[in-house]
Amino acid sequence: MPFSPMIRRLLPVLLLLAGSLPAGAQDAGLAFLRIGSNAAASAMGDGGVAYTRDAFATYWNPAGLAAAASNGAALSHVIWLGNVRTYALAGRFRAGRRGGVGLFVNATSSGNLQAREGPTAEPDGFFDAQFVSVGAAYGRRFGPLRLGAGVKYLSERLYVNDATGYAVDLGAQLGLWQEGLLLGAAWQNLGRMNALEATATPLPRLLRAGVAVRPFRILAARDGAEVLHLLLNAELSHVFPEERTQLHAGGSARVLDIIWLRAGVITDDAVRRFTFGAGLDYSALVFDYAFLPFDSGFGRGHVLTLSYAW
């Protein structure tokens, strides 16, 4: 059965399912590389380049690996459109007094998709699409400035066709006023893929820049315990070669040093606009959840993340 022409026609649909392409923009592939894998950032408008410093700094900004003084690991499950699922595992480890190392693996699957050469009552068959990213990153602190870099191996498989490639991420963060003001930027997915059947899939080169502020904290008068801690974030992302810019804005409130409440907004996205989430911080163990109400009748998405620090 000549699946190859059919597969080429389905690629834009698969990319829309696996990513956040706007209608009519289909110049870049591997769109799963644009979607945050952790619930905290997903709930804040899918932005985290300025403030992220946990294990998922390997995705948002490798410079954030140098910000935390502890080790950490996180596991995340993303329930996306249709049967698309993403599983992500990331770890962050101290490397001396000023550095941090991160390791990560991210796997996305479309589930079973129907294959048709034309309008038929029954499909001609079924196939799936799978995307994998595996890599390592390093961040180092220079006073208030943090710099980082990461490298990743990429793999995509569509029916019987597969291809591999590589990419590099570069990032910087600047913490001012005792980390009350955070600036961040990252240049991601700089690399290339080998040919998938006959043509190489172009990577979504992503430029991110953002600012996060901690405007105030409220402490209990009796014992000084934290009652409320607010974080606000605004971020711009620009993807090449589509030449598309999005705004990601959101905020989080940590209540009684235990409960997190989050909300955000994304512009110029095919399926998402508003995002919401919550979290529970129990000592070294943190559970985060993001709720993504998709537009245009696509249903709802969910992100669940479990993190542990030591």
Q: Is the pLDDT of residue 301 over 90?
A: yes
CA distance 56 to 195: 29
- The per-residue pLDDT for 159 is 77
Contact 284, 310 (CB under 8 A): yes
Other beta carbons within 10 Å of 119: 5
Residues 6+ apart with CB under 8 A from 169: 62, 137, 148, 149, 150, 151, 152, 186, 187, 188, 189, 190
- Joined tokens for residue 228: 């409320």
Q: Is the pLDDT of residue 18 over 60?
A: no
- The per-residue pLDDT for 65 is 98
Say if residue 5 is preceded by a cis peptide, omega within 30 of 0. no
Q: Is the pLDDT of residue 210 over 70?
A: yes
Contact 11, 245 (CB under 8 A): no
pLDDT (tens digit per residue) in 67-123: 988 999 999 999 988 788 999 999 999 999 999 999 999 999 887 666 666 676 677
CA trace torsion 264, 266, 267, 271 (10° rounding): -130
Domains of the chain with CATH codes: 3-309 (2.40.160.60)
CA 221 to chain centroid, in Å, comes to: 39
- Joined tokens for residue 181: 């003001």
CA 45 to chain centroid, in Å, comes to: 11
Reference 58, options 137, 161, 139; nearest CA is 137
- The per-residue pLDDT for 278 is 99
Residues 6+ apart with CB under 8 A from 35: 19, 20, 42, 46, 78, 80, 86
The position carrying tokens 């001609």 is 124
- The per-residue pLDDT for 5 is 44
The position carrying tokens 């007094």 is 97
pTM of the entire predicted model = 0.87
Q: Is the pLDDT of residue 240 over 60?
A: yes
CB-side neighbour CA atoms (13 Å) of 221:
0
Going by pLDDT thresholds of 50, 70 and 90, the confidence category of residue 12 is very low
Reference 189, options 298, 88, 59; nearest CA is 59
pLDDT (tens digit per residue) in 246-295: 999 999 999 999 999 999 999 998 888 999 999 999 989 999 999 999 88
Mean pLDDT, the chain, whole residue set:
88
Cross-strand partners of 130: 109, 157
Q: Is the pLDDT of residue 227 over 80?
A: yes
pLDDT (tens digit per residue) in 154-166: 999 887 789 999 9
